[in-house]
Amino acid sequence: MMRQAGRSLPEYMKLKEGYKFTELVQDPNLAAEVTLQPIRRFGYDAAVIFSDILVISEAMGAKYELLDKGGVEVDFALNSKADVDRLNPKHVLDHIGYTPEAIKVTRKELGDKRAIIGFAGSPWTLASFMVEGGSSRENLRSRAALHDEPKLFFTLLDKITEATIVYVKAQIEAGADVIQIFDSQGGTLAPNLFWRYSGLWIQKIIDAIGGKVPTIVFARNVHHNWKQVVQTGGNVLGIDWSIDLREVANTLPADVGVQGNLDPALLMAQPEPAAAEAARICETMRGRNGFIFNLGHGVPPEADIATIQAVADTVQGFE
Ligand code: CP3
């Protein structure tokens, strides 16, 4: 599941009394501990390493923080060529080597029976956070900026891609079994722009990984563009909850896996309807090779523990 850890777990809230989010991310032992919390409780097959996509922004010189009122904030919103010039993709691991380190610690604790999922944001999704200066629903500034200054925008995407390649390679080196790329903002791009501003840059990262480990590409709300998401070379596509999983799967090449797509809101409902929906999804995917059950997006902080447990039991017991 993506965003396994976090505020839905009492043990996470307990740990967070003593630390800020970024402090947990930056300490390999604490990050490994948070990574393991949902695995201990629910026994998932794979552990998503505890970090954030915005560490790449930090690595290039624009730090980020979580806001108490919700959302994230980046140190400086990119407003000019000078701001983009300030970003330095050359010393990534000096800044964010803590995540590969956390993977090593996690591996020691987890053994070899369960997979570790490393991850990074897509260059477009990261660029939009950096241009907006934080969370933004519509990405209006970014969507305007790419038309006003396409060259500058490509320079930004290029820098993010360079940094990300170093970062994901270090995660693989440290023991990540899979790399997932989150293009959570992919669906904000118009269809004719998706490839040039998002897909292409994801493809560059996947090319650089060179098949060393399998890759998962989660691109949210890109219904018009599955072909282009496939073109990135990702081995598995992560699908959000707003589309029928089986229908998408039927249009994809047989060797491309699918991951998804329970509506995360169901984790805030009673255990019964959530379990029933999880079973329905598994049933519709019966016989499709390469299916990974997951949520259609991250675990909401208000998720009910008993409901998560019921979903996990249903999927783990599905025959
Ligand atoms: O715990 C895990 O499973 C690790 C995974 C993880 C986190 N962030 C930790 C996190 C992953 C895969 C991410 C990716 C991420 N971060 C994305 C892409 C996926 C997605 O969810 O769309 C994005 C867009 C971000 C940026 C980000 N980080 C936002 C917008 C927020 C939310 C702020 C809020 O108000 O909830 C975060 C915070 C964050 N990252 C949390 C976690 C566990 C919540 C932490 C907390 O509340 O203490």
**250: helix, strand or coil:** helix
Distance between Cα 319 and ligand 1 center (Å) = 32
The pair of structure tokens assigned to 204 is 């560059």
Question: Which residues partner with 179 through β-bridges?
Answer: 118, 215
Decide if domain 5-238 falls under CATH 3.40.630.30. no
pLDDT in tens, 265-281: 999 999 999 999 999 99
Q: What integer pLDDT is reported at residue 28 of this predicted model?
A: 98
Distance between Cα 52 and ligand 1 center (Å) = 6
- List helix spans (H) across the chain: 10-16, 21-26, 28-42, 55-59, 81-86, 92-96, 98-110, 123-132, 140-148, 150-174, 191-194, 200-209, 226-231, 245-251, 271-284, 305-317
- Ligand 1: which atom is nearest the Cα of residue 125? 24
184 lines ligand 1 (CB under 6 A): yes
Which of 223, 217, 88, 111 lies closest to 158, judged by CA? 88
**Alpha carbon 121 to its chain's center:** 6
- Ligand 1: which atom is nearest the Cα of residue 184? 22
5 lines ligand 1 (CB under 6 A): yes
Q: What integer pLDDT is reported at residue 288 of this predicted model?
A: 93
Nearest Cα residue to atom 7 of ligand 1: 52
Nearest Cα residue to atom 35 of ligand 1: 70
Total length of the chain: 319
Nearest Cα residue to atom 28 of ligand 1: 52
Nearest Cα residue to atom 8 of ligand 1: 52
Confidence of residue 293 (pLDDT cuts 50, 70, 90): very high
- Whole-angstrom CA distances from 159 to 42, 83, 233, 282 are 38, 12, 21, 40
Q: What integer pLDDT is reported at residue 2 of this predicted model?
A: 56
Supply the pTM of this predicted model.
0.96
For the chain, the structural domain boundaries read 5-238, 256-319
Mutate to test the pocket of ligand 1, among 51, 53, 96, 239 (most ligand atoms within 8 A of CB): 53
The pair of structure tokens assigned to 41 is 């409780």
Distance between Cα 316 and ligand 1 center (Å) = 25
pLDDT in tens, 210-244: 999 999 999 999 987 899 999 999 999 999 999 99
Mutate to test the pocket of ligand 1, among 1, 2, 3 (most ligand atoms within 8 A of CB): 3
Q: CB neighbours (10 Å) of residue 164?
A: 27
Mutate to test the pocket of ligand 1, among 22, 72, 217 (most ligand atoms within 8 A of CB): 72
Nearest Cα residue to atom 1 of ligand 1: 5
Would you call 134 exposed, middle or buried from its count of C-beta atoms within 10 A (0-12, 13-18, 19+)?
A: middle
Q: What integer pLDDT is reported at residue 224 of this predicted model?
A: 77
Confidence of residue 1 (pLDDT cuts 50, 70, 90): very low
Query: Any idea which residue has 């790449």 for tokens?
Result: 56
Nearest Cα residue to atom 21 of ligand 1: 298
309 lines ligand 1 (CB under 6 A): no
